[in-house]
């Protein structure tokens, strides 16, 4: 009985501790997630306020001059993902993109600039652009695009030379990896001039690396899909498995969607913090749970009937008048005139006697001719269970007081 109670008590306390830890983890996670969503929403609002759309054109003047938004040269120090896309797929901004998420580009469109040209984009920005195809083993493998923002007409020759030089340098660094894939691991943004933006795209329209806002397009269907996606979601990069919380903000003009802002936050630091919290909580729970269980069981031990080993028993007695069975300091009261009372009354009256089944049936007031009657046996089990020890022994079809406890028996005289 004691062991069963201890196991139940420990299981209950352990359940409460685990539930508290899990609940606290969930509360902290949701609180942190709510704060991040609010931050991403506030940032998307700031970016949206910096952009102006009118008659198919985007004015990004305020956005480019805002110190809290990414800058074409990367000088703002902004390290979280940010996308600004027009409804037709023009990439207004793609800063620190998530690998495998909206990081494609239209290779065919880029290859229309194989001869250096000046491009006036839908953002009212002017770029000097040139693209050079990448060939591996005589087969098209991708494209390198280099661009210069807001070129001065008087310096076009110098600008074109920078673009051509940086493009050639990048082509010399790119190698062929496994499965004929382009390997750009050796490319560093320091390989190009600080005022040159570049983008390297493979033959599958995948942006492998870029350092700025090189004018490019992505498939319009990708933008439409994201416009209809949930405002918030957590995704994992299919390549790096890094988790990101994303917020999507649709931009409207005359109640029609004209663009999309996607802001993101790397979740790895959050998960590391929560995992550390979980480990500390578990260790703290273990450190506090054990003494609590010990104190609880020590206190309850004196309040309930518990199993006692043979060597721990010092006193056994039965009071016929009150029906009290006393084992050490534990007092059990048996209802007067019950089967348990009559059984103990007979056994304690003659503790060394072996009682036959029909003799005890008679004491219990049962039919002694009913050989299938289990009343005596069931009553013995109930008494032993209540006492927490094998007080009455059943052996060779007879019942008797357990001889192991005779030396501790008090008041053995018949009453």
Q: What CA–CA distance (Å, rounded) separates 86 from 89? A: 5
Same domain, 235 and 95: yes
Q: Is 187 exposed, middle or buried (0-12, 13-18, 19+ CB in 10 A)?
A: buried
Is 228 found in the same domain as 79?
A: yes
Outline where DSSP puts E strands in 137-286.
139-149, 175-176, 182-183, 196-202, 207-210, 232-236, 243-253, 256-266
- Residue % of the chain over a pLDDT of 90: 38
**Total domains present in the chain:** 2
What is the mean predicted confidence (pLDDT) over 384-409?
Answer: 89
Provide φ and ψ at 267, rounded to 5°.
-95, -5
- The parent domain of residue 220 ranges over 74-266
Residue 21: strand, helix, or coil: helix
Rounded to 5 degrees, φ, ψ at 92 are -75, -40
Domain boundary (231, 266, 301) is at: 266
Q: Cα–Cα distance between 183 and 139 in angstroms, integer?
A: 15
What pLDDT score was predicted for residue 39? 92
Beta-carbon contacts of residue 207 (< 8 Å; ≥ 6 apart): 94, 97, 103, 104, 105, 199, 200, 201, 216
Q: Measured between alpha carbons, how far is 143 from 134 in angstroms, rounded to an integer?
A: 5
* Contact status, residue 176 vs residue 182, Cβ threshold 8 Å: yes
Q: Is the same domain home to 95 and 190?
A: yes
Query: Would you say residue 311 has pLDDT above 60?
Result: no
Which of 69-83, 244-258, 277-291, 323-337 reaches the highest mean pLDDT?
244-258
* Mean of pLDDT over the chain: 84
pLDDT per position as a tens digit, 132-182: 999 988 888 999 999 998 899 889 999 999 999 999 999 999 998 887 889
Q: Where are the beta strands (DSSP E) in 160-309?
A: 175-176, 182-183, 196-202, 207-210, 232-236, 243-253, 256-266
387 pLDDT exceeds 70? yes
Same domain, 138 and 259: yes
Instruction: Identify the CATH number of the domain in which residue 387 sits.
Output: 1.10.10.10
309, pLDDT greater than 50: no
């Amino acid at each position: 009985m004691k062991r069963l109670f201890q196991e139940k008590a420990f299981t209950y306390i352990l359940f409460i501790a685990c539930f508290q830890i899990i609940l606290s983890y969930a509360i902290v996670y949701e609180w942190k997630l709510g704060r991040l969503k609010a931050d991403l929403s506030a940032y998307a609002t700031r970016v949206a306020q910096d952009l102006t759309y009118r008659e198919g054109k985007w004015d990004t003047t305020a956005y480019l001059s805002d110190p809290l938004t990414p800058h074409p040269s990367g000088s703002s120090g902004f390290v979280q993902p940010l996308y600004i896309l027009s409804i037709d797929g023009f990439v207004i901004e793609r800063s620190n993109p998530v690998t495998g998420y909206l990081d494609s580009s239209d290779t065919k469109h880029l290859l229309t600039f194989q001869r250096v040209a000046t491009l006036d984009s839908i953002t009212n920005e002017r770029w000097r652009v040139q693209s050079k195809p990448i060939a591996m083993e005589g087969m098209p493998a991708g494209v390198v695009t280099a661009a210069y923002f807001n070129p001065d007409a008087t310096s076009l020759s110098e600008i074109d030379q920078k673009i051509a030089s940086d493009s050639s340098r990048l082509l010399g660094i790119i190698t062929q990896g496994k499965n004929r894939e382009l390997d750009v691991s050796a490319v560093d943004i320091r390989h190009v001039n600080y005022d040159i933006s570049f983008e390297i795209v493979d033959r599958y329209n995948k942006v492998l690396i870029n350092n700025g806002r090189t004018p490019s397009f992505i498939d319009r269907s990708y933008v439409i899909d994201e416009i209809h996606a949930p405002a918030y979601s957590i995704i994992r990069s299919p390549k790096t498995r890094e988790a990101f919380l994303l917020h999507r903000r649709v931009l409207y003009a005359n109640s029609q969607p004209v663009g999309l802002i996607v802001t993101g936050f790397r979740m790895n630091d959050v998960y590391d913090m929560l995992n550390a919290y979980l480990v500390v909580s578990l260790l703290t729970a273990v450190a506090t749970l054990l003494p609590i269980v010990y104190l609880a069981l020590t206190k309850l031990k004196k309040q309930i009937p518990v199993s006692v080993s043979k060597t721990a028993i010092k006193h056994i007695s039965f009071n016929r008048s009150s029906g009290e069975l006393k084992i050490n300091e534990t007092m059990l009261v048996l209802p007067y005139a019950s089967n348990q009372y009559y059984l103990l009354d007979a056994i304690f009256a003659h503790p060394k006697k072996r009682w036959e089944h029909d003799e005890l049936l008679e004491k219990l007031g049962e039919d002694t001719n009913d050989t299938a009657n289990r009343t005596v046996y069931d009553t013995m089990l109930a008494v032993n269970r209540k006492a927490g020890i094998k007080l009455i022994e059943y052996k060779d079809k007879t019942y008797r007081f357990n001889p192991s406890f005779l030396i501790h028996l008090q008041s053995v005289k018949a009453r």
